[in-house]
Structure 1
């Protein structure tokens, strides 16, 4: 069965029908999701929801919520939270974190946050969930300073060359609703040519909704997988098995 490796089901957009959505997911073979926290303010919420509904979560600070003034406080709090959850089987990652060249504080601040997250990933032996928007080169250069770390570049929309560079550093490639866009030629070429063991299925719900969808949900995962299978001219059933194995291999779920 599939797992949505990136869904913000803790967001208020799901408050009215979260349980119903989870039932719908199970009915179509999506057995759960990983909830990546975005800020200190929602760490406890992703933990609570993961335990209530049998989901999984990551803890981290997303670039949009990074703050130069509070950086030491955030990192200290993250280390403490990871320590407290170190035996929690629902904790499977550090993140969401990363770099954003369009939104958030200046790059130097984001890089310091990222470096601290990478150090914690190595300390706690957890994979990272990384956001990357218009920041491929600085993200690659920073990852290189931490050999042995692993994770996923989520919501990937870049080139085959960039994907291979991330893969060489131990990172899988998160594929979401963008692949459904016929104009996303770089990504579709990438998905067609990357080794299957590098791909992870995700939706980034409720964000990144495909065209014609008002609110993205993990149910979109089925369309994503079907499109990957179509692009690669492979069997959907065998692809689902491979993707499920990829998720288990990285996140141990």
Structure 2
């Protein structure tokens, strides 16, 4: 079966773990049918690196965002200025969002929500998709997105229950599924209950691979495809067709 034009919708190809063999990693991805990789960032240094990498490797599509555990309004200001300045070179704002697994104090959660809300507004202003982190905060992230009229949204590696995801599905948001689905009952249950029309695929490389202690890479996108096909009882070709179309609906043509 030909897997043409698959997009890894969330990966960290700027990570230093790829510095010695990034070209070979991308060659393996292409051989597996991956045509594009949305390379997200967590800091301003990541964002700059992503732009440089996208210029060097055309299959990489740069995103810029501030990781949710960075509770610094000044860094948020700098990141938003960077995104505005580089709008035409970016395909998404990400990763941004909420993380209640790390952030526990109510005051810090409030600041985290404030920063995320500003990125949601920036997404609407610039018409850029949001690539959203929501660890242990899925229901809260979805509610904030809906309350702030977010329209172009990818929920990355969503770890909540399907019930928390359904309002986002109704709003037209997408959910990207990593290869770790083969070892995650939660993600298997999520995929079983969500419609194929809202699914994307990602790797979150270098983490969330099919084996927990092994470096993940975009070629493993095929693992996500196979798992979704098995759970939904459809062909891999049908999954590929759906996720390619879903990616186009969210991101347009790269």
**TM-score, normalized by length of structure 1?**
0.91
Other-structure match for 2:157:
155
Q: 1:160–1:186: 8 Å Cα contact kept in structure 2?
A: no
User: Which stretch shows the higher mean deviation, 73-82 or 34-43?
Assistant: 73-82
1:164-204 Cα deviation digits (max 9, x unpaired):
122223321111123111xx334212212321110010010
- Aligned-pair Cα RMSD in Å: 1.7
**Could you say if the C-alpha distance between residues 36 and 212 of structure 1 is closer, same or farther in structure 2, counting changes exceeding 3 Å?**
closer
Spell out the pairing of 1:1-253 with structure 2 (5 A cutoff).
Answer: 1-54=5-58, 55-64=60-69, 66-68=70-72, 71=73, 73-88=74-89, 91-104=90-103, 106-181=108-183, 184-211=184-211, 214-252=214-252, 253=254
- Tell me the distance in 2 between the aligned counterparts of 1:4 and 1:96: 14
Q: CA deviation at 1:6?
A: 0.6
Q: 1:4–1:203: 8 Å Cα contact kept in structure 2?
A: yes
- Tell me the distance in 1 between the aligned counterparts of 2:35 and 2:85: 26
Q: CA deviation at 1:213?
A: 5.1
What SS is found at the alignment partner of 2:148? coil
Q: 1:197–1:243: 8 Å Cα contact kept in structure 2?
A: yes
Q: CA deviation at 1:22?
A: 0.7
1:116-149 Cα deviation digits (max 9, x unpaired):
1011001101110110111123212311222242
Structure 1 gap ranges (5+):
none
Q: 2:177–2:202: 8 Å Cα contact kept in structure 1?
A: yes
- Tell me the distance in 2 between the aligned counterparts of 1:206 and 1:133: 17
Q: CA deviation at 1:104?
A: 4.5
Q: 1:61–1:97: 8 Å Cα contact kept in structure 2?
A: yes
Q: CA deviation at 1:84?
A: 1.9
Give runs of ≥4 in structure 1 deviating > 3 Å.
Answer: none
**Could you say if the C-alpha distance between residues 83 and 195 of structure 1 is closer, same or farther in structure 2, counting changes exceeding 3 Å?**
same
- Tell me the distance in 2 between the aligned counterparts of 1:51 and 1:28: 22
- Tell me the distance in 1 between the aligned counterparts of 2:48 and 2:212: 33
1:69-127 Cα deviation digits (max 9, x unpaired):
xx1x2233223222222233xx1111101111122582112111101101100110111
Q: CA deviation at 1:220?
A: 1.4
Structure 2 gap ranges (5+):
none
What SS is found at the alignment partner of 1:220? helix
**TM-score, normalized by length of structure 2?**
0.90
Q: 1:25–1:219: 8 Å Cα contact kept in structure 2?
A: yes
